[in-house]
Amino acid sequence: MERIVKGVGMNKGKGKKLHIGIMGGTFNPIHHGHLVTAQEALEQFKLDEVIFMPCGQPPHKRDEEIIPAEERYLMTVIATASNPRFTVSRMEIERKGPSYTIDTIKELRTIYGEGTEIFFITGADAILEILTWKDAEKLYDLCSFIAATRPGYCLEKFKEIHVIPEGKKERGKPKVYFMEIPALAISSTDIRRRVREGKPIKYLVPEGVASYIQKCGFYRGRKAKES
């Protein structure tokens, strides 16, 4: 399939300054909250595309029930197949060892060139964790961040690390834009719990993903096999 790209999206080399969104995550499993967030980022920030980047070995989630990376990748492909501006990368799942965002962004910078503007899309709570990520200050210079929040989310806790909400850059601090997403009430943790308890997940995940989870028997035991 042409859309299933190994490490990059589809718009490289078309002679213009690109604006690329990177939707990083475990996607264990991917759900409608992820898809709505990516689509809203496309529209609000005039992105050319969003690259979904399933992580291989998440460095901060080793004790969580995580199904193998290849399965999470396939579910992400299923979920995004109908949107021509969504692509899925194998970059992190094929990289040996823990998946660090700094390594991914550096590689994308090499592929796309310095003129490309890269936005890393994540949940607002993860922005606070970014301060602890590998080579965090170097990462701030390589990309901006789009932080997805739920309606009514309190932003007071972020005032110490960056300017709100303009996304202005300060030395040694991340450049962050906030984006409100109602569908963020959906969570992968809750979906896994519902599967374990035999409850329906219809309309929480794309139909193809729900069918794949059922067919493969994911999340039914107390502990899934780690990737």
For residue 225, pLDDT over 50 is answered with no
The predicted-structure confidence for 168-190, as pLDDT tens digits, reads as follows: 667 777 888 999 887 778 889 99
The predicted-structure confidence for 118-130, as pLDDT tens digits, reads as follows: 999 998 888 888 8
Q: What percent of the chain has pLDDT over 70?
A: 82
Let me know if residue 222 belongs to a domain: no
Compute the half-sphere exposure of residue 222: CA atoms within 13 Å on the CB side of its CA: 0
**With 0-12 CB in 10 A as exposed, 13-18 as middle and 19+ as buried, what is 150?**
middle
Number of domains in the chain: 1
What does the pLDDT average to over 81-94? Answer: 96
* Cβ atoms within 10 Å, residue 109: 14
CA dist 170 and 174 (Å) reads: 7
Let me know if residue 92 belongs to a domain: yes
Least confident of 49-63, 84-98, 196-210: 49-63
CATH at residue 64: 3.40.50.620
Compute the half-sphere exposure of residue 155: CA atoms within 13 Å on the CB side of its CA: 18
Mean pLDDT of the chain: 85
For residue 42, pLDDT over 80 is answered with yes
Let me know if residue 227 belongs to a domain: no
Whose tokens are 């213009």? That residue is 16
